[in-house]
Amino acid sequence: MAATAEQINELPVLTGAHRESEPHPTNGYKRFEIGSFTFTRDEYFTRIQCPTSTHVMDVENFLRSLMRDVAWGFFYGWVNFDEVFGTVNNYGTVDVFMGAYNQGYKDSGTDFTERFEAGVLLACFRSLLSDWTNAGFDPFAAPLETGSARGPKNGNNDEAVNFQRELAERFVGLPGDSPIRSDENGRPVNRQFADVDQSEPEVHAEPGFEGQLAGFNLFRYLSRSPVTWNPSIVSVVRSSAYCPTSEEHILPVDHGNDRVEWFIQMSDEITWKVADKNTAAPMSVVTMKAGDVACMPADIRHRGFSPKRSMLLVWENLTPGLEKRYADGELPPVPATF
């Protein structure tokens, strides 16, 4: 029988640490187990097993998805690695699911979900990423910028998989806050943004007001992002957070919203495929060009396609507990009607 929403809400929280096997005698990769889930990889594929089914994914797609899930701290709401497997952030605990948001699995009763304390799941996923990511493959990079994850185990790329998001507390460049990106702090201009103006605003503070005025070139900042589909935070106005990001190729996951978020396309173009959060049924295609603005309602999942590296401003609301207010129906999934 498919799990009901009530049954999922009452899932016990598993706190036991994950288990790792010895390296496979042929391909060199470890097997990882947490709760009832088992993760194995070979030279091409990731195999995920749970009590109700087995799921197979291309290993590069799996690692790109897992990289975002880990780097985002499970993000806001649903991170669907594909139409079958993913995680749901409950903020403190995380659900790992197979087919729980896929109508076919639900209809056949083969969906499966377990709930983990976030820290133990994060430790499992971090260790898996470290073991399965070969030297020369960067799961944060666009495909044209990196090598392959395929083949037998070949070293690691811990520098890439341990990349930390840059999160300003108030405003980039203020004393003690997140720094402006530059060659000197290891952020060269990306090849796809070689034509972006690198000038910074002129900030003239009168004596006594030094450190109170601030400004920086956001386009220059984004032109120097070393990663794709991984928002930073550059300014916070109470609960309003600007989370810009540079995008190239495909967002590796379908992000399922647990709150409203907004996209402001600052350069170039992204096409978003939007589907129902619970069933994965197609809903719309949203094409965004420079200057376009669109809301992503709280009841959808979306995946972006960016043919050239582009600049996207993701705008989030950091108010604690919003996910519950949307889930309970207190807040409508669309923020304005007309």
Q: Please, which of residues 260-279 interact with other proteins by CB under 8 A?
A: 260-262, 264-269, 275-276
* Positions in 189-228 near other proteins (CB under 8 A): 191-197, 199-206, 208-209, 212-220
**CB 92 → other proteins: shortest distance, Å?**
23
Cα–Cα distance measured from residue 338 to residue 142, given in angstroms and rounded to the nearest whole number: 39
Contact (Cβ atoms closer than 8 angstroms) between residue 56 and residue 46: yes
> Which DSSP helix (H) or strand (E) runs through 323?
helix 322-327
**CB 295 → other proteins: shortest distance, Å?**
4
Nearer Cβ to other proteins (1/237): 237
3-state secondary structure of 188: coil
Interface pattern 235-264 for other proteins (x via CB under 8 A): xxxxxx-x-----------------xxx-x
3-state secondary structure of 16: coil
Nearer Cβ to other proteins (159/206): 206
Q: Is 324 in the site for other proteins (CB under 8 A)?
A: no
**CB 321 → other proteins: shortest distance, Å?**
12
**CB 82 → other proteins: shortest distance, Å?**
19
Residues 6+ apart with CB under 8 A from 261: 76, 295, 296, 314, 315, 316, 317
- How many amino acids of this chain bind other proteins (CB under 8 A)? 79
* Binds other proteins by CB under 8 A, chosen from 25, 186, 291, 320: 291
Q: Is 334 in the site for other proteins (CB under 8 A)?
A: yes
CB atoms within 10 A of CB 19: 12
Interface pattern 103-132 for other proteins (x via CB under 8 A): ------------------------------
Residues 6+ apart with CB under 8 A from 220: 181, 196, 197, 198, 199, 200
Residue of 268, 261, 262 lying closest to 247 (CA atoms): 268
